Amino acid sequence: MQQLTKGQKLQEAYRIFLEPYSQHINYAVTLTLKQSAKIRVKRFNYGDEYYEYWKKLGEDEIRSTVRYFTVNLKSLLFGNYAKHPNKKDWAVPLVITAVEGINSNKQIHLHMAIGNIPLAKIRNIEHHIQAAFKRCDFANKQLCVKHVNNSMGWLSYITKEVGYTNNDALDIVESTIPPFIQSSICTESRLLTV
């Protein structure tokens, strides 16, 4: 029996961690990012004037893009339900994100496993994902949305760089897990209060 390397053990640990979420995932999404973007900021008290500057893609910009995409997607999918105190528990999309291409010569792109989509929005999910991504400053034209038949296979695929090129490929911090899914998976009461 061959001994696993530290990287392979880390990759396997991530896959074990993600396995309970696999039953809630419906879509595999790949979003490609621009290497730099012109940022436009509206100037207050100056009418319709904007301040423009170029920004290079870095780790902070990647995380900000993931966060902004998720907020836009939540708004498009759930509307005002996402703001209602009694509905915040379920009115959030499940978004597990991996960032690829940071430590290689590939173009930086995001692999996402997305779930908890309202039934009324499933028919136009590609349009909603595209609209949410288009609002992001670093959004590139390449976008791929596919229905997932083997969600654990997709989760294994998005963790392929862990332990090899990029141990931080899986972005746990910016991934979004609806509270009702987290509570159905988590059995320790001390973790449910976080």
Structural contact between residues 183 and 99, judged by C-beta atoms closer than 8 angstroms: no
How many angstroms separate the Cα of 143 from the Cα of each of 17, 71, 93, 123? 27, 18, 18, 17
Which amino acid, residue 114?
A: I
Q: What is the pTM of this model?
A: 0.88
* Model confidence pLDDT, tens digit, residues 89-117: 889 999 999 999 888 788 999 999 999 99
Structural contact between residues 99 and 169, judged by C-beta atoms closer than 8 angstroms: yes
**Reported confidence tier of residue 184, pLDDT bands at 50, 70, 90:** confident
